[in-house]
Amino acid sequence: MSGRSRVLRWAIPLAVVPVLVLLAYGFRTDPRDIPSPLVGKPASSFKLTAFDGKPVALEALRGQVVVVNFWASWCYPACYEEAPSLERAFQAYKDRGVAMVGVNFQDKDEPARRFLTQFGHTFPNAPDPAGRVSVDYGVYGVPETYFIDKKGRVRFKQVGPVSDEMLKQQIERLLAEAA
């Protein structure tokens, strides 16, 4: 066999390797990862009325770490997957200066209440009838969760469901900071 075709013999299969490597690299990136311009900025305040009739205001929670979660009863399966984690985190941290607020996004009253009963949420949840809070926070789709530090700044935004570990990690990080 000539030298040229010996080279070809290796070159043909090897030529595709860079392409495969590039595609594999694609797994490390997320095309939907759009950084929120709100991160680092003061969280916009809101006053809502919870499903149980009590007022919920961000202002009143200043000085605490606040987790604001946007959800909907029609958001299946992501909102259903994360719901137990949220309640668990609330139970674990409510006595350590962490508040949690659920904002119900473009939903109907009855299925929303059924959702809350199903998961036995004890943290305040409020409908956002005019969608104003969702717009202020730039909610792109549910679920989305915002982590607000003790100084009232948005520090992290999670698009998609949250997990136990992630809630723990973000909350602990913000708790460790000075007020």
Partner 1 sequence: MTPELGYAATVAALILAVYGSGAAALSAVRGRADLRLSAERAAVGVWLLVTTCMALLIYAFLTFDFSVRYVAGNTNLGTPFYYRITAVWGALEGSIILWAFMLSIYTLIVVARYRRTQPQLYPWVLAVMLGISAFFLLVMTIPAPPFERLSPIPADGRGLNPLLEDSGMITHPVALYLGFTGFTVPFAFAMAALIIGRTGEEWITITRRWTIVAWYFLSLGLLIGGWWSYHVLGWGGYWAWDPVENAAFMPWLTGTAFLHSVMIQERRRMLKLWNLTLIILTFSLTLFGTFLTRSGIIGSVHAFSQGSVGQFFLGFLALIVLGAFSLLAWRLERLHAQGELDSIVSRESAFLLNNLFLVAAAFTVFFGTVFPLLSEAIKGTKVSVGAPFFNLVNIPIFLALIFLMGVGPLIAWRRASAENLRRNFLKPVAIGIVAALVCRLAGVANALVLLCLALVVFVAATIALDFARAARARRRTGDGWLDATWGLALKQNRRYGGFVVHLGILVVALGVAGSQAWSTQTEATLNRGEAMELAGYTIRFEGLEGVEESNHAKVVGTFTVADRKGPYTVLTPAKKFYPQEQTPIAAVDYRLGFMEDLYLVLGEFARDGSHATIKIQVNRMVSWLWIGGFLLTLGAALAILPEPRRKPAVAHAGQTAPA
Q: What is the contact mask toward partner 1 in residues 59 to 78, using x (rule: CB under 8 A)?
A: ---------------xxxx-
Print burial letters for 131-163: b (CB count within 10 Å at least 16), e (below 16): eebbeebebeebbbbbbbbbebebbbbbbebbe
Is residue 25 a contact residue for partner 1 (CB under 8 A)? yes
Is residue 35 a contact residue for partner 1 (CB under 8 A)? no
Is residue 130 a contact residue for partner 1 (CB under 8 A)? no
Size of the site for partner 1 (CB under 8 A): 30
Assigned token pair, 51:
């499903």
Q: Interface residues for partner 1 in 148-167 (CB under 8 A)?
A: none
User: Judged by CB under 8 A, which of 9, 54, 88, 132 binds partner 1?
Assistant: 9
Least distance (Å) between residue 162 CB and partner 1: 16
Is residue 3 a contact residue for partner 1 (CB under 8 A)? no
Q: Which is nearer to partner 1, 155 or 157 (CB)?
A: 157
Binding footprint of partner 1 on the chain (CB under 8 A) = 1, 5, 8-10, 12-13, 15-17, 20, 22-27, 29-32, 74-77, 105-106, 108, 141-142
